[in-house]
Amino acid sequence: MSICDFNHYLIRPGQNMKLAEVSSDPWDDLPSKKSEAKEELSRLQERLSDLQQRFFVDRRKKMLLVLQGMDTSGKNGTIRHVFRGVNPQGVHVASFERPSSRELAHDYLWRVHKRAPSEGEIIIFDRSHYEDVLAVRVNNLKPETVWKKRYRHIRDFEQLLYDEETVILKFFLHIDRDTQKKRLQERLDVPAKNWKFDQSDLVARSKWDAYVQAYEDVFAETACEHAPWYVIPANKKWARNLLVARIVVACLEDMHLSYPQVDYDPAKIVIK
Amino acid sequence: MSICDFNHYLIRPGQNMKLAEVSSDPWDDLPSKKSEAKEELSRLQERLSDLQQRFFVDRRKKMLLVLQGMDTSGKNGTIRHVFRGVNPQGVHVASFERPSSRELAHDYLWRVHKRAPSEGEIIIFDRSHYEDVLAVRVNNLKPETVWKKRYRHIRDFEQLLYDEETVILKFFLHIDRDTQKKRLQERLDVPAKNWKFDQSDLVARSKWDAYVQAYEDVFAETACEHAPWYVIPANKKWARNLLVARIVVACLEDMHLSYPQVDYDPAKIVIK
- Written in H, E and C, the secondary structure of A60-122 is CCEEEEEEEECCCCCHHHHHHHHCCCCCCCCEEEEECCCCCHHHHCCCCCHHHHHCCCCCCCE
The shortest CB-CB distance from B153 to any of A59, A117, A160 is to A160
Which of B106, B148, B166 is the best substitution to test chain A (most A C-beta atoms within 10 A)? B106
Instruction: Name every residue whose Cβ is closer than 8 Å to that of residue B8 and which is 6 or more positions away in sequence.
Output: B27, B29
> pLDDT at position A120, please?
96
Min Cα separation A149/chain B (Å)? 8
Residue B231 CA to residue B213 CA, distance in Å, equals 15
Task: Calculate mean pLDDT across residues B153-182.
Answer: 98
Torsion sign (Cα): A149, A155, A159, A165: positive
> Residue B198: which residues within 8 A CB-CB, separation 6 or more?
none
| A204-224 average pLDDT score | 97
CB-based contact (8 Å) between A105 and chain B?
yes
Lowest-confidence range among A38-42, B58-62, B101-105, B265-269? B265-269
Angle of helix B75-82 relative to helix B34-58, nearest 10 degrees, comes to 70
| Alpha-helix runs per DSSP H in B71-176 | 75-82, 101-104, 110-114, 135-138, 144-163
Type of residue at A193: K
Task: Give the mean pLDDT of B126-135.
Answer: 98
Q: A110 and B119 in contact by Cβ < 8 A?
A: no
- Rounded to the nearest angstrom, the gap between the alpha carbon of residue A109 and the centroid of all alpha carbons in its chain is 17
Alpha-carbon separation of residue B240 from B25, B41, B85, B140, B235 (angstroms): 9, 11, 17, 31, 8
pLDDT in tens, B61-117: 999 999 999 999 999 999 999 999 899 999 999 999 999 999 999 999 999 999 999
Is pLDDT above 90 for A139? yes
Give the model's confidence band at A99: pLDDT under 50 very low, under 70 low, under 90 confident, else very high.
very high
Contacts of A107 in chain B (CB under 8 A): 62, 116, 160-161, 164-166
Question: Which amino acid, residue A134?
Answer: L
> What is the pLDDT at residue B14?
83
User: Coil, strand, or helix at residue A225?
Assistant: coil
pLDDT, tens only, A51-88: 999 999 999 999 999 999 999 999 999 999 999 989 99
Superfamily of domain A3-257: P-loop containing nucleotide triphosphate hydrolases (3.40.50.300)
pLDDT at res. B85: 86
- Rounded to whole angstroms, the maximal C-alpha distance in chain B is 71
Chains A and B: how many Cβ contacts under 8 Å? 77
Q: Hey, what CATH topology would domain B3-259 get? A: Rossmann fold (3.40.50)
Distance CA B48, CA A177 (A): 57
Alpha-carbon span A272 to A226, nearest angstrom: 50
Interface of A with B in 162-221 (CB under 8 A): 163-166
Q: Which of residues 15-44 of A touch B (CB under 8 A)?
A: none
pLDDT at A266: 87
B187-222: per-residue pLDDT in tens? 999 999 999 899 999 999 999 999 999 999 999 999
Q: What is the C-alpha separation between A85 and B236, in angstroms, rounded? A: 63
Please tell me which residue of chain A has the smallest CA distance to B103. Answer: A118
